[in-house]
Structure 1
Amino acid sequence: MNILLWHVHGSWTTAFVQGPHIYLVPVTDGRGPDGRGRAATFPWPATVREVTPAQLREEPVDVVLLQRPHELDLATRWLGGRRPGRDVPAVYLEHNAPAGQVPCTRHPFADRDDLTLVHVTHFNRLFWDNGTTRVHVVEHGVVDPGHRYTGTLARAAVVVNEPMRRGRFTGTDLLPALSEAAPLDVFGMRTEGLAEYLEVPPERCRTADLPQFELHDAMAQRRLYLHPVRWTSLGLSLLEAMHLGMPVVALATTEAVEAVVPGTGTVSTRPEVLAAAVRRYAHEPAAAAEDGARARHAALQRYGLKRFLHDWERLLKEVCP
């Protein structure tokens, strides 16, 4: 099967392209948001092919996987007038939780009979108003990085992009108090200057932007994974941390309460409870390692790659009979 999809979410796509198909990824001059092509820092197999818009006009495509609303018109143009959902089967994958007036947020692809809307969490399905569109949930899957946890550094790893711009969404305002429980290492894009922004000593909040193959080793050296995010879909970095064998301390918001089961860490809506858990792990490495081992087992059971690919394969067969 030839599947057309855009390179939007590197971690998610890395899991998806491990399947048995050909994955056509648009590439444009300059490799902008609509034509990034193959990932530079994620291990993608040879079955991921870069295709230009001109090549797509003649390319056989069995299904289009849409991830952003404007891709519907983009695909129609680049496929030479073939309309996703009408002339070519289509699936719309929603990565994000709704924003704005959340209980009433209507999905841009609500009330459609020409495609299937797929959510990555049950929380997202519940909170989006999907209308009459056919809806499925395919929970995340993660390429297993292996049990790398050492926890030799009594610091908390945080993975977040643009924490200063995104502010309360990513729980950036909670970091000063949490950094008093244990020093933080914040990994991600545009994190430079975070300590100054938070007005905390630089040794309590270090930052780095690492490629994926270095990030996992760096995370696994930290004593715990901290997920202070208020509002997002289920972060893949949290699931990757669990796969690495890290205990998790997370806000009990969105889908985190489903992922971080008892015995694998602490989830709470009370920042002081999170701070106490961070402090405990920082001072009790044996307890951190034990909970981290349980976290890895739980993540492999629910968010393993085999289950993820099986669920997608079943859905694709329904969409493309």
Structure 2
Amino acid sequence: MNILLWHVHGSWTTAFVQGPHTYLVPVTPSRDPDGLGRARTFSWPASVREVTPEELRDTEVDLVLMQRPHELELAERWLGGRRPGRDVPAVYLEHNAPDGDVPLTRHPFADRSDLTLIHVTHFNRLFWDSGDTRTEVIEHGIVDPGHRYTGRLARAAVVVNDPVRRGRHTGTDLLPALAEAAPLDVFGMATEGLAARLGLTEERCRSADLPQAELHRAMAERRFYLHPVRWTSLGLSLLEAMHLGMPVVALATTEVAEAVPPGAGTLSTRPDVLARTARHYLHEPEAAAADGARARQAALGRYGLKRFLADWERVMTEARS
């Protein structure tokens, strides 16, 4: 199949394009958010092709995978009037948990009979009001980075993009107290100057934005993975940390309680409990390594790439029938 999709989420797309199809990724001269082209810092196969809007007009497309509401109009315009869901089979992938008035949040693609709405977690499907639109859950899949955990650095790894702007959503306000229990290394975009914004010393809160390959190496050197997120979809960085063999210390919110089983770390809605586990891992590296090994086995079993691609193959085949 020729599958049209935008480069919206690098880690998720890295897993998706490992399938047996040709993946058409729009690119524009300015490489704006609607035409970024293929990822530059992720390893993608040659089956991912950059195509301009002009080329798409005459390109055969077997399926459109939309991830943002305005892509419906973009796809129709760039495909020369072919309408996703009517003239071309289509699915809509929802990466995020709802925002705003959460119990009553209507999905932008609610009550659509012409496409399937895919959620990445059961939590997201539960909380979005999707009306009569056919919905499916395809849980994340991870390209296995290998069991690389050493935990040689008595520090916590945190991965979050734009922590200051996202604030309470990502638990940024909890970091100062948690940094008293364990020094933090915060990785992600727009993390520069985070320590000063939180009133912490650079030793207690370091930050860096690394390419994925370097990020995995750096994460695996830290003693444990800290996930202080209150409200978001299930972070792929959490699942990558588990694949690396890292134990998890996380708020028991959204889908995390499903993803991290007993023995793979500590989940709690009490930051003081998380801080206690952080101190335990710092002083008991063998316990951290043992919990991390269990985390890896759990992640391989539930979020393996083979299952992920098989689930997508089934749904895409059904969408085209």
Shared fold (TM-score, shorter chain, > 0.5): yes
In the alignment, what sits opposite 1:272?
272
Describe the SS at the equivalent of 2:38. Answer: coil
Q: Distance in 1 between matches of 2:206 and 2:159?
A: 12
The count of corresponding residues between Structure 1 and Structure 2 is 321
Counterparts of 2:282 and 2:116, CA distance in 1:
45
Partner in structure 2 of residue 290 of structure 1: 290
Q: Which residue of 1 aligns with 2:70?
A: 70
C-alpha displacement at 1:88, in angstroms? 0.2
Flag structure 2 segments of 5+ consecutive residues without an equivalent: none
Counterpart residue identity of residue 250, structure 2? A
Question: 3-state SS of the aligned residue for 1:202?
Answer: coil
1:314 aligns with 2:309: no
In structure 2, C-alpha distance between the alignment counterparts of 1:108 and 1:48, rounded to whole Å = 28
Per the TM alignment, residue 116 of structure 1 is displaced from its structure 2 partner at its CA by 0.3
Looking at structure 2, the residues matched to 165 and 125 of structure 1 have their Cα atoms a distance apart, in angstroms, of: 26
SS in 2 for 1:13: helix
* 1:257-297 CA distance string (max 9 Å, x none): 00011000011000000110111111110000000000000
SS at match of 1:154: strand
Cross-structure match for 1:117:
117
TM-score scaled by length of structure 1: 1.00
Distance in structure 1 (CA, Å) of the matches to 2:32 and 2:189: 17
Report deviation, 1:146: 0.2
What secondary structure sits across from 2:154 in the alignment? strand
Amino acid aligned to 1:180: E
Taking the TM superposition and a 5 Å limit, the aligned residue runs for 1:5-24 are 5-24=5-24
Q: In 2, Cα distance between the equivalents of 1:290 and 1:41?
A: 31
Match of 2:105 in 1: 105
CA RMSD of aligned residues (A): 0.4
1:115-139 CA-partner distances (Å, limit 9, x unpaired):
0000000000000000000000000
Q: Say yes or no: does 1:196 pair with 2:188.
A: no
- Residue 228 of structure 1 is matched in structure 2 by 228
Determine the structure 2 residue equivalent to 1:152.
152
After superposition, residues 168-247 of structure 1 pair within 5 angstroms as 168-247=168-247
Structure 1 Cα separation of the partners of residues 228 and 32 of structure 2: 30
1:201, 1:83 → 2: CA distance?
Answer: 54
1:134 aligned partner, one-letter code: R
Letter of the 1:123 partner, please give it: F
Deviation at 1:187, TM superposition (A): 0.2
Separation in 2, partners of 1:173, 1:38? 34
Which consecutive segments of 4 or more residues in structure 1 shift more than 6 A?
A: none
Summarize the alignment of residues 71-86 of structure 1 with structure 2, pairs less than 5 Å apart: 71-86=71-86
Superposed, 1:39-78 pairs within 5 Å as 39-78=39-78
* CA distance in structure 2 between the aligned counterparts of 1:292 and 1:30, rounded to whole angstroms: 43
- Distance (whole Å) between structure 2 residues aligned to residue 30 and residue 70 of structure 1: 19
What one-letter code is carried by the residue in structure 1 that aligns with 2:187?
Answer: F
Amino acid of the structure 1 residue aligned with 2:81: G
Q: Secondary structure at the match of 1:65?
A: strand
Partner SS state of residue 80, structure 1 = coil
1:248 aligned partner: 248
Q: 2:214 & 2:245 partners in 1: Cα distance? A: 16
> How far did 1:200 drift?
1.2
Structure 1 unaligned residues grouped into runs of 5+: none
Name the residue aligned to 2:261: 261
State the distance in 2 between where 1:172 and 1:283 align.
Answer: 25
Kindly provide the amino acid, as one letter, of the partner of residue 28 in structure 1. Answer: T
Residue 89 of structure 1 and its aligned partner are, at CA, apart by: 0.4
Give aligned-pair identity as a percent: 79
In structure 2, how many angstroms separate the alpha carbons of the residues matched to 1:279 and 1:33?
41
Per-residue CA distance 1:52-98 (angstroms, 9 max, x = gap): 00000000000000000000000000000000000000000000000
- Quick one: distance in 1 between partners of 2:192 and 2:5? 32
